[in-house]
């Protein structure tokens, strides 16, 4: 078998399922390696996908074996294999995730971020694997629609985008989100799920999503979505 079960050090990853593979074909076809169809894949979606593949000069590979290896426990009829890629951020508003550790959370955040028009995400290492099939699945394909770039440190990111207004989200911050005016271009910055951002981020314009004392903190994906909603809400 040409492809093996996902590991971080492989130079490819894959989109499991029809929806994700469509997103891959439409948005990142230049990185497409192969598309596998299960022998029981049929109907309109199959025809539509064959058409797109043809326009890309590709043919689907019909094989059931690979589904046992890459998607053994799941109800999957299509697998899109792609070469891992690197992107550049645009000089727009950014989301900055410092040391995100959970693949599902990262994917969900990508989807919500795209949903509110923030298409540029900086990710500070160490971090979860962006190409983990779990990230790709949770993003519902958003990973093929946004720009993301990994940085070795927050300083590296900051130097490159020194025109950005930095808004770290922290429980220790004094300014409440709904009293914050975001100057553009902005960077909304969030820390690791368990530890948050280190105290030195209080030197920037830090922001708190004020909540009751009955919970310790908001779930990270909920916190990011509230922040992005508030920062972009006059656009939609």
55 contacts 28 by C-beta, under 8 angstroms: no
Residue 170, helix vs strand vs coil: coil
Provide φ and ψ at 189, rounded to 5°.
-115, 130
Q: Is there binding between residue 215 and a copy of itself (CB under 8 A)?
A: yes
Which residue, 51 or 178, is less far from a copy of itself as judged by CB?
178
Kindly state the number of chain residues that form the binding site for a copy of itself, as judged by CB under 8 A: 31
Q: Which of 54, 109, 53, 114 is nearest to 78 (CA)?
A: 53
The dihedral built from the CA positions of residue 136, 225, 113 and 175, taken in this order, carries a sign that is negative
**Residue span binding a copy of itself (CB under 8 A) among the ranges 48-56, 186-194, 195-203, 212-220:** 212-220
146 contacts 28 by C-beta, under 8 angstroms: no
Q: How far is the CB of 192 from a copy of itself (least distance, A)?
A: 17
Query: Beta 12-16 vs 78-83: how paired, if at all?
Result: antiparallel
Which residue, 25 or 66, is less far from a copy of itself as judged by CB?
25
Which residue, 70 or 103, is less far from a copy of itself as judged by CB?
103
Q: Report the residue from 13, 112, 135, 206 that binds a copy of itself according to the rule CB under 8 A.
A: 112
Which residue, 49 or 177, is less far from a copy of itself as judged by CB?
177
Q: Is there binding between residue 193 and a copy of itself (CB under 8 A)?
A: no
Q: Is there binding between residue 236 and a copy of itself (CB under 8 A)?
A: yes
Residue 109, helix vs strand vs coil: helix
Q: How far is the CB of 4 from a copy of itself (least distance, A)?
A: 25
**Residue span binding a copy of itself (CB under 8 A) among the ranges 39-47, 60-68, 108-116, 127-135:** 108-116
Secondary structure element (H or E) that encloses residue 95, with its range: strand 94-98
Q: How many whole angstroms from its chain centre is CA 93?
A: 16
**Exposure pattern of 47-79 as b/e (b: 16+ CB <10 Å)?**
eebeeebeeeebebeeeeebbeebbeeeebbbb
Q: Is there binding between residue 219 and a copy of itself (CB under 8 A)?
A: yes
Binding mask 134-173 for a copy of itself (x = CB under 8 A): ------x-x--x----------------------------
Q: How far is the CB of 177 from a copy of itself (least distance, A)?
A: 8
Q: Is there binding between residue 212 and a copy of itself (CB under 8 A)?
A: yes
155 contacts 64 by C-beta, under 8 angstroms: no
Q: Which of 115, 233, 128, 125 is nearest to 177 (CA)?
A: 233
214 contacts 99 by C-beta, under 8 angstroms: no
Contacts with a copy of itself by CB under 8 A lie at 108, 111-112, 114-117, 140, 142, 145, 176-178, 209-212, 214-216, 218-219, 221-222, 225-226, 229-230, 233-234, 236
């Amino acid at each position: 078998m040409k492809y093996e079960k996902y590991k971080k050090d492989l130079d490819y990853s894959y989109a499991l399922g029809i929806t994700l593979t469509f997103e891959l074909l439409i948005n990142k076809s230049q990185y497409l390696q192969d598309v596998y169809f299960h022998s029981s894949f049929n109907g309109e979606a199959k025809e539509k996908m064959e058409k797109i593949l043809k326009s890309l000069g590709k043919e689907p590979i019909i094989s059931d074996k690979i589904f046992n290896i890459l998607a053994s426990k799941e109800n999957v009829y299509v697998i899109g294999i792609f070469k891992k890629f690197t992107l550049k951020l645009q000089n727009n508003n950014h989301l900055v995730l410092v040391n995100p550790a959970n693949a599902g959370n990262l994917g969900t955040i990508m989807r919500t971020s795209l949903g509110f028009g923030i298409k540029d995400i900086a990710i500070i290492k160490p971090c979860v694997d962006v190409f983990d099939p779990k990230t790709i699945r949770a993003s519902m394909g958003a990973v093929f629609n946004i720009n993301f770039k990994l940085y070795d440190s927050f300083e590296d990111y900051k130097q490159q985008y020194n025109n950005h207004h930095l808004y770290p989200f922290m429980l220790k911050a004094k300014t409440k989100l709904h009293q914050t005016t975001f100057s553009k271009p902005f960077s909304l910055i969030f820390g690791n799920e368990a530890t948050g951002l280190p105290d030195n981020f209080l030197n920037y314009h830090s922001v708190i999503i004020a909540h009751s004392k009955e919970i310790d903190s908001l779930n990270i994906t909920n916190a990011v979505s509230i922040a992005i909603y508030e920062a972009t809400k006059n656009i939609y």
